Structure 1
Amino acid sequence: MNDIQPIVLPGVDPRRPLVIAGPCSAETEEQTLNTARALAAEGFRIFRAGLWKPRTKPGGFEGVGAAGIPWLQRVKRETGMYVATEIATREHVAAALDGGIDLLWIGARTAANPFAMQEIADALRGQDVPVLVKNPVSPDLELWIGAIERIHNAGVRRLAAVHRGFTSIDRSLYRNHPMWAIPIELHRRLPALPIFCDPSHIGGKRELVAPLSQQAMDLGFDGLIVEAHCTPDVAWSDKAQQVTPEALGYIIRNLVIREQTTTTESLTELRKEIDRLDDELLDLLVRRMRVSREIGQYKKEHDMPILQTQRYDELLARRAAQAVELGMDREFMRTVMQAIHEESVRQQMRILGD
């Protein structure tokens, strides 16, 4: 997909970050217009508002639907902003395009459903409209890429991905775990694809919008899609994660944008050192797996099971504690040790199976 084009709109500053901002939901015409006017006053050029709101449980506010399209048309007329909304069905696509919506995004629940994605792709065939695809709710990179490919195969070239975090049963600071490694791998696989960050849905709290936006910029993301509401404390959906237009203006003005520069001699030497250390790590892992195979042979000869649960639990706890003492993250070390243990088990299963 090397023919993907950036999301470039006439009159919008192409420099990072491209910011798409507006309320989670278009609730009333007054709320929609007041928020848009305040965002325009802060210099924002692309206004977002959800018209169709798929909710986790029935009974909540599920959006005003197509009745809100005239509100977005009025936003365009009165502020000169481009307008964007979420689509999830072919009917949404038709209504949005007929209503002159400038940019569409596909939500996490929809992106997880290949049938829904194909329906949307068929409805978009032959249309020249920018489309953003959010990551699926589960941390499945192939599913995310597949959703993007379906839209690309329909002929849409102004494409971008949106990282909004992943659902997890673990308790966390975040509403949705960032798992930054997944969008980083997406960029490696599809380097031409712009990637936006949705700090509102990752954080779930308005106080996390600023630090998450900065992290996204530090990682080289192309833009942000942020929820902003004229009166967020009384918003009809996701009020805890929405900021005021004025607060968002302050956040964006204070972002540090780290542009890519020519590699210096000092950086080159440091990268060489990283390469050398990686080689040493690989050599150590090879030696460790050799010992694992010897253990597997011993277990085979003595009719012992591969998995020794108590030993594994002790190993995880000890290495995680050591990592903290050495200034590293506990969960990072647990992840590393779990991956090493998984490969050790695989090696030993081969021994027992021979």
Structure 2
Amino acid sequence: MKLDLKIQPLSSWITAKAQPLLIAGPCSAETEDQLVATAHLLAATGKVTALRAGIWKPRTRPGEFEGIGSIGLEWLKRAKAETGLPTAVEVATAKHVEEALKAGVDILWVGARSTANPFTVQEIADALKGSDVPVMVKNPVNPDISLWIGALERINNAGITKLAAIHRGFSSYEKTAFRNEPMWDLAINLKTHAPELPIICDPSHISGNRELIPYVSQKALDMDMQGLMIESHIDPSVAWTDAKQQVTPSALSELIDRLTLRQPEVVNTQVKDALAELRNKIDKIDDLVIQKLAERMKIVEQIGNYKKDNGITILQVNRWDEILQKRSNYGKALNLHADFTEKLLELIHSESIRKQTEIMNAGQGEAPVQEQLTHS
């Protein structure tokens, strides 16, 4: 279902002198000299669209550096006056909004922790009423697209039409190379709901270390995201917060130079025709896949009825292990990625369990709407 958001195009409220659109600056404004010096170096690259800096820092535990506070807004004003760069800060309360607007901050963003709390988002939205400031909304900490959408709707309902989303990854119990799992499919899902909504990527928070930032940045651009937000510090080794994921302005400039920009639209007629032919083949195969899945589910229903009539349990662990092993090996032989094959099989199996549960419970009251069994 498409979202009914009233949004102005990104190009109408932020001008990128270079591509890609790049919002950069230190994780935290630490001292006036640090912020202003970093801003000058970023401006000198000719690649930065706007200067970001954390003024109020929501920390996981008390006692950690929680931002320099309102005085940092004055430092931002100086940095803007000397470099000409528009400024951007995170806001988490109505007071933050009021102070940022009074200080002439050009762009506000709502952080991941705030997005996860509708009460906080509504407080911010109420404080924004009557203003015309651009607002960007980061995805919530946990992979919940409804919270992300809800936050965007609340801000939009407050009259903010200069609106964008920031993809910064999601928390996960599984420890991987990333600080926050990208879960690109959720960002794609949001884009499907709101095609007109600009989405920019925050590779710094997805990566958690500077070595991964180039990879995540290129991936984001290849996914047709409209820009990047990357943390940059004059000397990351002494940064007060998130030192590992910040890069120097010169390193940022080199990183941007190495990125490949690709066009979302096909211009070449020959290429367009070739793609159309290949996509037509995919459409036909997709139709067959859906048809075969439907046939499979008909057989699943027959099995469910047989199990019900003969008092057999729905879940047959040995059978599931056999399917998983055989099909995974088959998929591997056909050059399908093991993770993809396993996820596909689990999805099909989950639907099979749901159908059989429905048959077993027929006439015994309604089963839960979304009963799912997971298997390790």
Equivalent positions of 1:233-252 (< 5 A) are 233-252=237-256
SS of the residue aligned with 2:260? coil
- CA drift of 1:69 comes to 0.8
Correspondence for 2:197 among 193, 197, 200:
193
Residue 141 (str. 1) matches residue 145 (str. 2) = yes
Partner of 2:37: 34
- CA drift of 1:10 comes to 7.4
Residue 46 (str. 1) matches residue 50 (str. 2) = yes
- CA drift of 1:350 comes to 1.6
Correspondence for 2:353 among 318, 340, 345:
345
8 Å CA contact retained: 2:203, 2:213: yes
Partner of 1:270: 278
Correspondence for 1:184 among 184, 188, 204:
188
Tell me, in whole angstroms, the C-alpha distance in 2 between the residues paired with 1:313 and 1:56. 41
Partner of 2:61: 57
Change (3 A) 1:157 1:16: farther
- CA drift of 1:8 comes to 3.7
Q: Deviations over 1:21-68 (max 9, x none)?
A: 011111111111111111011112300000111112222111111121
Residue 336 (str. 1) matches residue 344 (str. 2) = yes
Change (3 A) 1:343 1:53: same
Tell me, in whole angstroms, the C-alpha distance in 2 between the residues paired with 1:171 and 1:309. 28
- CA drift of 1:15 comes to 6.7
Tell me, in whole angstroms, the C-alpha distance in 2 between the residues paired with 1:39 and 1:182. 31
SS of the residue aligned with 2:313? coil
Normalised TM-score (structure 1): 0.96
16-25 vs 106-115, which moves further: 16-25
Tell me, in whole angstroms, the C-alpha distance in 1 between the residues paired with 2:13 and 2:139. 27
Equivalent positions of 1:246-261 (< 5 A) are 246-259=250-263, 260-261=265-266
One-letter code aligned to 2:305: Q
- Structure 1 stretches of 4+ moved >4 Å: none
Change (3 A) 1:54 1:272: same
SS of the residue aligned with 1:65? coil
Tell me, in whole angstroms, the C-alpha distance in 2 between the residues paired with 1:155 and 1:202. 30
Tell me, in whole angstroms, the C-alpha distance in 1 between the residues paired with 2:66 and 2:233. 17
Residue 300 (str. 1) matches residue 305 (str. 2) = no
Q: Which runs of 5+ in 2 are unaligned?
A: 363-376
Tell me, in whole angstroms, the C-alpha distance in 1 between the residues paired with 2:133 and 2:187. 23
Equivalent positions of 1:10-159 (< 5 A) are 12-13=15-16, 16-43=19-46, 44-159=48-163
Correspondence for 2:211 among 204, 207, 217:
207
Instruction: State the superposition RMSD in angstroms.
Output: 1.6
Q: Deviations over 1:110-154 (max 9, x none)?
A: 001000000000000111001000001111111111000000000
8 Å CA contact retained: 1:6, 1:160: no
Q: Which runs of 5+ in 1 are unaligned?
A: none
Residue 170 (str. 1) matches residue 174 (str. 2) = yes
Partner of 2:234: 230
Tell me, in whole angstroms, the C-alpha distance in 2 between the residues paired with 1:131 and 1:21. 16
- CA drift of 1:255 comes to 1.5
Q: Deviations over 1:264-302 (max 9, x none)?
A: 111100010110110011011111111211211121112
Normalised TM-score (structure 2): 0.90
Change (3 A) 1:309 1:57: farther
SS of the residue aligned with 2:183? coil
8 Å CA contact retained: 2:169, 2:180: yes
Change (3 A) 1:281 1:15: farther
Tell me, in whole angstroms, the C-alpha distance in 2 between the residues paired with 1:21 and 1:82. 11
SS of the residue aligned with 1:84? strand
Residue 3 (str. 1) matches residue 11 (str. 2) = no
8 Å CA contact retained: 1:175, 1:204: yes
- CA drift of 1:249 comes to 0.9
One-letter code aligned to 1:27: E
Tell me, in whole angstroms, the C-alpha distance in 2 between the residues paired with 1:220 and 1:280. 29
8 Å CA contact retained: 1:86, 1:105: yes
8 Å CA contact retained: 2:7, 2:161: yes
- CA drift of 1:261 comes to 2.1
Correspondence for 1:288 among 283, 292, 296:
296
Change (3 A) 1:191 1:261: same
Tell me, in whole angstroms, the C-alpha distance in 1 between the residues paired with 2:188 and 2:43. 32
315-324 vs 22-31, which moves further: 315-324
Identical aligned pairs, as a percentage?
51
195-204 vs 250-259, which moves further: 250-259
Tell me, in whole angstroms, the C-alpha distance in 2 between the residues paired with 1:116 and 1:10. 25
Tell me, in whole angstroms, the C-alpha distance in 1 between the residues paired with 2:19 and 2:198. 11
8 Å CA contact retained: 1:165, 1:177: yes
